[in-house]
Amino acid sequence: MSEPASDGAGDTIDRLELYADYVCPFCFLGKRSLERYRERRDQPLEVDWQPYDLRRGKRNPDGTIDHDADDGKDDDYFAQARENVRRLQERYDVEMAQELAIEVDSLPAQQVSLHVKREYSDRWASFDEAIYAALWEDGREIDDTDVLADLATDAGLPGDVVTDALEDDGLRATLEERFDDARRQGVTGVPTFVSQGHAARGAVPPEQLEQLVGQ
């Protein structure tokens, strides 16, 4: 779990790990809360993205989602999830194109995102935000390679960055290892915010993030 980082001059920089999956509406809303918290801070906050796979066990070989797979989520669960999304939209004053995206698989987006984070770290934050905005604000399908290519181009990334990432079997294996590591760390749902060995799960308000980082 995360520990405070140093800026090299002896000063400690607060650090927060964010376990998230692009197809999770609460991750999108949690990032809006995180933005509010960062705006109110006087000091910088280092945020480290950790990928998580909500579709594990429900993904068919062709990338489609198997809704018959038993993951414990029934109609009542989804009805409650939609209600919670609407409540948080109002709390954070956010407009969304959809409340859930149960047909969309985030695996391609996460694989490209991990590649961008490694090779073009200065542009990763913009690309990461663009993926969330494309799905939740514009209703675009982020498992479509053409959509990812458009987002990459808009973020100033090379034109072949998407194909390079998706054709890299080693990168896919690394991503799967990151998913496994998240579960070994005890992460069972997203978003999960972690700081100095303490965790908060869900699209928690900025005040709770402040408490988490300040512990």
Query: Residue 6 above 50 pLDDT?
Result: no
pLDDT of residue 60: 85
Q: What is the mean pLDDT of residues 20-41?
A: 97
**37/137 Cα distance (integer angstroms):** 21
Query: Residue 161 above 70 pLDDT?
Result: yes
CB atoms within 10 A of CB 207: 12
**25/3 Cα distance (integer angstroms):** 27
Domain covering 5-214: architecture: 3-Layer(aba) Sandwich (3.40)
- 116-160 residue pLDDT tens: 999 999 999 999 999 999 999 999 999 999 999 999 999 999 999
Contact 111, 166 (CB under 8 A): yes
Q: What is the mean pLDDT of residues 185-193?
A: 96
Task: Supply φ then ψ for residue 17, to 5 degrees.
Answer: -95, 140
Query: Residue 4 above 70 pLDDT?
Result: no
Global pTM reads 0.92
**37/103 Cα distance (integer angstroms):** 31
Task: Supply φ then ψ for residue 49, to 5 degrees.
Answer: -75, 135
* Residue 38 neighbours by CB under 8 Å, 6+ apart: 45
Q: Is 167 exposed, middle or buried (0-12, 13-18, 19+ CB in 10 A)?
A: exposed
Output the CA–CA distances (angstroms, integers) from residue 191 to 53, 100, 154, 164, in the order listed.
11, 15, 26, 28
